[in-house]
Structure 1
Amino acid sequence: MASSTKSFLSSIIFLLLLLLLQFHSSAGQTRRKGVYWFSGSEFPVANINSALFTHIFCAFADLNTNTNQVTISSSNAAKFSTFTQTVRQKNPNVKTMLSIGGGSSNPTNFASMASQPNSRKSFVDSSITLARNNGFDGLDLDWEYPSTPTEMNSFGTLLTEWRAAVVKESVSSGKPRLLLSAAVFRSSNYYGTPLPVSSISNSLDWINVMSYDFYGPGWSASSTAPPAALFGSGGQVNGNAGIREWIQSGMPANKIAIGFPFYGWAWRLVDQNKNGFYAPANGAATGAGISGGAISYRDIKTFIAANRVTPVYNATVVSNYVYSGTTWIGYDDKQSIAAKVSYANANGLWGYFGWQIAADDDSSTLSRTASTT
């Protein structure tokens, strides 16, 4: 009896120790905090407070349509070559990612490149060389978006070959393997065409889910709406639904980063007395800081101060808005950002990323809120 009791107690102690080790392992995991820097913003790299981030994406390298090689424009060459060195002055441990493509690039060019073995190899080999020569820790693909079954298959094949190539290069060079990520559609299904989730999961270290631009005056002109709502109902597009689809399709939660915007969208109200979500509107508003309906967070702050208005936070959908006269702006403020980071933590996501650092205000309000939540 004494022997069996001793054995039982030993088993209990072992299980408690195992649970304690698992707790410490989980608690010790570093939450990832990402942000994009966009060269077109003219925001100085030296002004990035890299202490607020674990990963910074340098955007964008280009795809040469003649050679299918990844290139850096002459206007960006100097900034990109010193990017890692510069941001590590404030945070020696920050990881840097060279991002390729972007929303202004032609998706047809990526589809053409990814369709053939030789052109894929040109892309893959040149991207690795470029990342190594410029001191980056990894590569990020921003192809917006593969949209047909054929393109999805090509996308999956490209990622598989990319992963094999960075592994091979790491072995031959003796250097740590380059990290791989991609900025992807808000859900794992692009308007009826499924993304190659298995290839994405097996090949990439994580994905940056673009959980924003759900609504904007350029494509949903007749009414205001939360541009980057976390939750929604009745068919409203929202971030949680997209994240859930990714996970249900087989993407591990810890390989998913949720994205949020450091900018908003401005509509022109039809009637300034009807000014909540889904109020009648007539396209994009105009005014200081508004370009094509888009407005940075720093300019939203200026708008609020100049018009002496009070923003509204809707905790149900997780989104902010503010209005003055017929100008109505939907955006993410501190409350929305904090709620989204808490959501990422609670759901075991890889972390988050913001687009883009130059649109934050001079106090880095959104970046600081995300980093300290």
Structure 2
Amino acid sequence: MGGGDGYRSVAYFVNWGIYGRKYPPQKIPYSKLTHVLYAFADNRDDGTVILTDKWADTDIHYDGDSWNDVGNNLYGCLKQLNLAKKQNRNLKVLLSVGGWTYTNTNKHFDGPASTPQGRKRFADSCVDLIKDLGFDGIDLDWEYPQNADQGQQLLLLLREIRSAMDAYADKLAAEGGYGTEGRPHFVLSIAAPGGEQFYKHYPLREIASVLDFVNLMAYDFSGSWDAHSGHLSNLFPSNSSPTCTPFNIQSILDAYTSAGVPADKIVLGCPLYGRAFQNTAGIGQSFNGIGAGSFEQGVWDYKDLPRPGADVYYDEEAGASYAYDNATQTLVSYDTVEMAQRKAQYIRQHNLGGAMWWELSGDRQDEGSIVDSVS
């Protein structure tokens, strides 16, 4: 599902992944992707967008990097991404600003997004980072506007970023004597919620008109917060066991397209991880505990699944896969390769814009790779 067939193949790369996860940018399957979203940047109270890990982003030296270069040079993950773009000329790298911690826990978007000055500072600093570090655009991940006023502020912020990027593109075209044909286009996307309690605050039609595409976070449909074990990222509702499908992709897509979001701008987000449920008799049943995980409790990287002793099942009605260990009564809901391929088929059937994955360090590095299998 790469760019050659007209679909977007989008994946998040997290800058903290170079540490415990041991996932440097050299492991990214660039040839399988059209867009890499570099996560996450943050912002100051005045709206200035900033990088969050200088060592990972711009300083760490990888093989081939010299310690004797003269001048102010770029290293770190961002140098590797720029080198990858030279080898993959259609690849776009976007700076993803926000994320759960910065925008939900710390509410960093709330202040700047609420004023014209904050939005302008935010947008202008995005362009500064594009100029300085070679990004091809911006991905905004606000989790989540809490009311209609904040939904409108998100729209205004996106318009400000679009305007600033377009002005910079015009400047480059004029300076280079390219005219309109040679004018660069900077990409703008958002990570968008699957829950109606959040997307109801978004002026979706207007937002979509400003964006190149929408990364629909079609995962975390079930988890530790629920009373029953459920599917993480199912396509359809389950009529026979409604408790296992509190959300489903089909109804979310229907809501987005009915609100005026073109289907071909919707990029279907898919998980490269699974969520665990302990002491449960099966899917849709009560559970007690979530147990261990790859890096956090109850969350397993796809590359670590299925767990030893578990059998893998496909729920035809819900359009979802999971693993269950009868001996330990542990269930993990996740996408298998076969399920990922089923979603790729679904994307084509519904004329969607492509697929997105959160996040790359969870994938396998062998023939079992999900990104490889559907890109």
Relative to the length of structure 2, the TM-score reads: 0.84
Distance 2:127 2:198 in 1: 32
Secondary structure of the structure 2 residue equivalent to 1:284: coil
Matching residue of 2:374: 370
User: What letter is aligned with 2:14?
Assistant: F
Matching residue of 2:228: 223
Query: Which whole-Å deviations, capped at 9, do the CAs of 1:25-72 have from their partners, x for residues lacking one?
Result: xx985211111111112211011111111111111111122x311111
**1:162 touches 1:203 (CA, 8 Å); kept in 2?**
no
Q: Which moved more, 1:87-96 or 1:152-161?
A: 87-96
User: What letter is aligned with 2:370?
Assistant: L
Matching residue of 1:335: 338
Matching residue of 1:278: 284
Matching residue of 1:126: 125
Distance 1:266 1:72 in 2: 33
Give yes or no for the alignment of 1:166 onto 2:165: yes
**1:80 touches 1:134 (CA, 8 Å); kept in 2?**
no
Secondary structure of the structure 1 residue equivalent to 2:285: coil
Distance 1:256 1:318 in 2: 19
Query: Which whole-Å deviations, capped at 9, do the CAs of 1:316-358 have from their partners, x for residues lacking one?
Result: 2121111221221111111211111111111111111000110
Relative to the length of structure 1, the TM-score reads: 0.84
Compute the displacement of 1:177 (Å).
2.4
User: What letter is aligned with 1:368?
Assistant: D
Could you tell me which runs of 5 or more consecutive residues in structure 1 were left unpaired when the two chains were aligned: 1-26
1:61-100 map, 5 Å: 61-65=41-45, 67-73=46-52, 74-78=54-58, 79-88=76-85, 91-100=88-97
Matching residue of 1:15: none
**1:285 touches 1:328 (CA, 8 Å); kept in 2?**
no
**1:37 touches 1:57 (CA, 8 Å); kept in 2?**
yes
Aligned residue among 183, 190, 200 for 2:191: 183
**1:98 touches 1:139 (CA, 8 Å); kept in 2?**
yes
Q: Which moved more, 1:79-88 or 1:107-116?
A: 79-88
Distance 1:292 1:184 in 2: 25
Give yes or no for the alignment of 1:347 onto 2:350: yes
Q: How many residues align?
A: 332
Compute the displacement of 1:104 (Å).
1.7
Distance change in 2, residues 1:289/1:28 (3 Å):
closer
Query: Which whole-Å deviations, capped at 9, do the CAs of 1:281-319 have from their partners, x for residues lacking one?
Result: 013123x63622111011114x2xx32x32111222121
**1:269 touches 1:279 (CA, 8 Å); kept in 2?**
no
Distance 2:317 2:80 in 1: 40
Q: Which moved more, 1:234-243 or 1:203-212?
A: 234-243
Could you tell me which runs of 5 or more consecutive residues in structure 2 were left unpaired when the two chains were aligned: 59-75, 174-182
Query: Which whole-Å deviations, capped at 9, do the CAs of 1:7-40 have from their partners, x for residues lacking one?
Result: xxxxxxxxxxxxxxxxxxxx98521111111111
Give yes or no for the alignment of 1:56 onto 2:56: no
Distance 1:28 1:38 in 2: 25
Distance 2:357 2:319 in 1: 16
Matching residue of 2:321: 320
User: What letter is aligned with 1:117?
Assistant: P
Query: Which whole-Å deviations, capped at 9, do the CAs of 1:148-179 have from their partners, x for residues lacking one?
Result: 11111111111122222211211112251211
Secondary structure of the structure 1 residue equivalent to 2:109: helix
**2:150 touches 2:201 (CA, 8 Å); kept in 1?**
no
Q: Which moved more, 1:249-258 or 1:55-64?
A: 55-64
**1:229 touches 1:318 (CA, 8 Å); kept in 2?**
yes
**2:192 touches 2:199 (CA, 8 Å); kept in 1?**
no
Aligned residue among 7, 12, 16 for 1:40: 16
Give yes or no for the alignment of 1:244 onto 2:254: yes
**2:320 touches 2:339 (CA, 8 Å); kept in 1?**
yes
Compute the displacement of 1:223 (Å).
1.7
User: What letter is aligned with 2:332?
Assistant: I
Cα RMSD, aligned residues only: 2.0
Query: Which whole-Å deviations, capped at 9, do the CAs of 1:206-264 have from their partners, x for residues lacking one?
Result: 110000001012x11x3210011111145631111111110000011111101010000
Secondary structure of the structure 1 residue equivalent to 2:365: coil
Q: Which moved more, 1:205-214 or 1:160-169?
A: 160-169
Distance change in 2, residues 1:122/1:59 (3 Å):
same
Distance change in 2, residues 1:90/1:282 (3 Å):
farther
Distance change in 2, residues 1:50/1:28 (3 Å):
closer
**2:228 touches 2:287 (CA, 8 Å); kept in 1?**
yes
Q: Which moved more, 1:76-85 or 1:224-233?
A: 76-85
Aligned residue among 206, 209, 219 for 1:212: 219
Query: Which whole-Å deviations, capped at 9, do the CAs of 1:117-156 have from their partners, x for residues lacking one?
Result: 0010010000111022111111100111111111111111
**2:126 touches 2:161 (CA, 8 Å); kept in 1?**
no
